[in-house]
Structure 1
């Protein structure tokens, strides 16, 4: 089962919908089978939502970062983002921007190697010439990122979350 936050276009009422899969949602929406429980409107869209997924204890305080030729010089650690308490309708321009950003990040990571929690060690090995200079991405704590920057190693936070290859379906 998958749960989506939904919002009706007419009244802006937000509600939850449970579906067997994303394709079930798509087919039900296309058939006009989803309606707002408050006003009955069938013009319903997915609302922006930030999933609250607990991380394993050994993965807390980890920030996805990237190093290598894809780095654009930004090196500030990612700020902690708090999920919104109430989802709202998102303008089409914003949705388009996020889609473009996701495509750009995916293209950047195509030639980058996932190194997971070994990111600080691998970035140091590349920086000091112990390994080939190749783009890498993985996770690092804020302290690790600060130490890498102090050593003159260029890193940058990724703009969007990355699912580790071993955690993908």
Structure 2
């Protein structure tokens, strides 16, 4: 089986599965390949990226924390979660309060929008992005 990205004369883009490239050619020549949107049989193959299968051996290092970088990130995450308070979406407000002396100084981590993080940096609040999602967002 092979999947082709297809386009019709009206620029509708769709995909379809065929038994082989030759099967596509035969069906197209017989007028049996039609656009599902407009019904046109003036259909051509569209540019598509090839699907490359990865062997299990090549795929394994990408799962879990098998690579040194993944192990380092996992260790960093554990250390941050054990030694700081998760403040969730209140991160920006709490970081400002700590910076201004309105809240007790302590290590915190949480979430904020990129624009808000930039504002914190412009204000001189020491913040840094973390290379992982909070535990509550992982499945």
Task: Find the partner of 1:123 among 95, 100, 104.
Answer: 95
Structure with more of its chain in strand, by fraction: 1
| CA shift in 2, pair 1:109/1:132, >3 Å | same
Q: Shift of the alpha carbon at 1:161? A: 2.0
Q: Which has the higher contact order (CA 8 A, sep 6+)?
A: 1
**1:75-134 superposed Cα distances (whole Å, 9 cap, x missing partner):** xxxxxxxxxxxxxx65xxx71231122112311221111111101110011000011110
Give the Cα separation in 2 of the matches to 1:161 and 1:117: 13
- 1:147 counterpart = 2:80: no
**Unaligned regions of 5+ residues in structure 1, if any?**
1-11, 15-35, 37-43, 49-88
Select the residue among 59, 63, 73 that pairs with 1:47.
59
CA RMSD, Structure 1 to Structure 2 (Å):
3.2
Structure 2 SS opposite 1:148: helix
Q: CA deviation at 1:139?
A: 0.6
Aligned to 1:18: none
Report the CA distance shift for 1:47/1:162 in structure 2 as closer, same or farther (over 3 A).
farther
Q: What residue number does 2:6 align with? A: none
Greater Rg by CA: 2
Change (3 A) 1:46 1:118: farther
DSSP-derived class of the 1:100 partner: helix
